[in-house]
Structure 1
């Protein structure tokens, strides 16, 4: 009997110890989240350049910010919970203040069905968008209070929402004429969206606002695919055990953009040429025009192949650019032939874009009721500048 009592006591002590250790292990794990200041930069950037961490623009989201029904700064004043102007979103999107939250680990960008007369703040900039009063999407959006300007490397670690909405991390000038997309991902594999769900769109836009005119590279290389990933929303949701993907851009000069995914260089645009890693090979090429219009091939922007290599080479890209007469950055000179020179705001959001809605690629009520799947999560966001 005495032996049994001793055994029971030891067992109970063991359970208490296990519980204590487990709890402390969890705290330890939280404390050991990636240090965004010291986490290694992509290998391609380790070329002898000395990089300076931009504390005032970077955020590990290891704090809490409760949803608010008014426009509010958060993150020590780095962000506010809306878009950069009064406009409240494209297509059937209605950005709402209270669809933004920070839970101590992640930034949460949420989505739900727009409620019309019962909508949350702010009131709709324009009601019944696309003549779909029951098809609106309330969603979250945040904008930085400070801006970035080249040369600068920007990277985020995000988990795409597993729903037919765009999960976005992007840069935009205050006058909305220059845009660089770090990540644009249409996550959910619902009917009609499986083709888009498998890709991460890495691109940029050069705009004229009046009359509205938009240029963006439309070649096949602007859509990043990964073997084994048939849908980024499904991949990131991972049956509730969220995965994350790192996406970054090095805005090196007004005419030089480098795109990175999970630390790997995947695409470079420079002046009048582009290099993209496709099927394990680097393709170097350049755009062409006929009678003032960009040439197309198989429904996409045509890129004339200059060369193919096993590894990336900037000198090879320069050669391709010198062969070309058409800018890959701004072929119609909407920016006056100067490239991208304006300071850009950082924006992170979910949105329901009009071209998807027109094709009936839009979330159902059931999709929007599933808060686990319909939320975009951001673990961290960081900014570095090369030391001048």
Structure 2
């Protein structure tokens, strides 16, 4: 069984990892004995990429257990409850037609499962969400291994500050198999947001955002397989995004474009969820799931094999 209850000090050459092409990603369960435990990380594709840009990462790291989970237990038991809230971190119920509910998250067969369903007699969409109980801040490397839901909804792994003013989206992907959705399903996004908000009601005055799209090597939809989605959040103005062990987005000061000149400087909650976004549901015709799509058990689930977060430890 995989375990994260013990802190492991691991050299960078065996710390960062990607899922090799030889792994069985067609199974709904992402478990694989070759990736068990932190000390068995594979051949270090990410390590080589990071070392090229950050020679100082030739150091040791430790796992941040409160922001990590292998999901090797059944149900949302006491082990789940140690690290996660089975809700959003505040009272917001979600964007657009989204209505987050704890009924749409589960842990089964080695995966966190975030699902979607119809709220009866409405056009709203029940979606699962979990958030970390604590806030995390750089420097960290964090990664999920996940299988995107086959829905026009967005499958997400992201971070948001408690004041709702800074956001980092490591993966945001619309995974539906409609003909009109082919481009979105093959182009996952990593994003940053700097929100200028009205202090009286928290409404958005301006959203300064930067989105970068990413394709799979063969251009196939991301939903077809398990993939790894990670970020090295080095500091407020330095974030590197890695998909399947490859550096796909270098986020720097000029792309964050923060008028306050502080960047992503805040502690943030880790969030894993599904969402129905209003910019899509408000279109004519609306891009939102049908009842048939939501009822399809082979399509309405977002699988997360693990989330792993690490912090660098000084050599001395």
Aligned residue-pair number: 269
Is residue 90 from structure 1 mapped to residue 17 from structure 2 by the alignment? no
> Shift of the alpha carbon at 1:191?
4.2
1:198-277 equivalence runs, <5 A: 198-210=186-198, 211-212=203-204, 213-218=206-211, 222-233=212-223, 235=224, 243-272=225-254
Question: 2:31·2:305 contact (CA, 8 Å) conserved in 1?
Answer: no
Match for 1:77 among 74, 82, 93?
82
Distance 2:34 2:99 in 1: 33
Which protein has the larger Cα radius of gyration, Structure 1 or Structure 2?
1
Distance between the aligned counterparts of 2:185 and 2:32, measured in 1? 33
- Going from structure 1 to structure 2, the CA distance change for 1:252 and 1:86 (only over 3 Å counts) comes to same
Structure 1: how far apart are the matches of 2:253 and 2:177?
A: 35
| Structure 1 match to 2:271 | 347
Gaps of 5+ in 1: 1-28, 67-71, 117-133, 236-242, 273-327
Stretches of structure 2 lacking an aligned partner (at least 5 in a row) = 1-29
Q: 1:49 aligns to what?
A: 59
With structure 2 as the length reference, what TM-score do the two structures score?
A: 0.80
Give 1:267 shift. Answer: 1.3
Q: Which residue matches 2:311?
A: 385
If the length of structure 1 is used for normalisation, what is the TM-score? 0.66
Match of 1:186 among 174, 196, 214: 174
- 1:281-320 to 2 correspondences below 5 Å: none
Deviation of the 1:115 alpha carbon: 1.6
2:281 to 352, 357, 373: 357
Cα deviations by residue, 1:223-260 (Å, 9 ceiling, x for unpaired): 00124234223x2xxxxxxx201000111111011000
Write the mapping of 1:320-335 to structure 2, written as runs, cut at 5 A.
328-331=255-258, 333=259
Cα drift, residue 355 of structure 1: 0.8
Q: Is the 1:73–1:80 contact (alpha carbons within 8 Å) kept by the matching residues of 2?
A: no
Paired position in structure 1 for 2:8:
none
Give the superposition deviation at 1:266.
1.2
Instruction: Say whether the 8 Å CA contact 1:178–1:207 is kept in structure 2.
Output: yes
Q: How does 1:78-157 map to 2 (within 5 A)?
A: 78-116=83-121, 134-157=122-145
Cα distance in 2 for partners of 1:380, 1:36 equals 11
Query: What whole-Å deviation, never above 9, does each CA across 1:56-113 have from its counterpart, x for those lacking one?
Result: 22100001125xxxxx975251001111111111010011111110014000001101
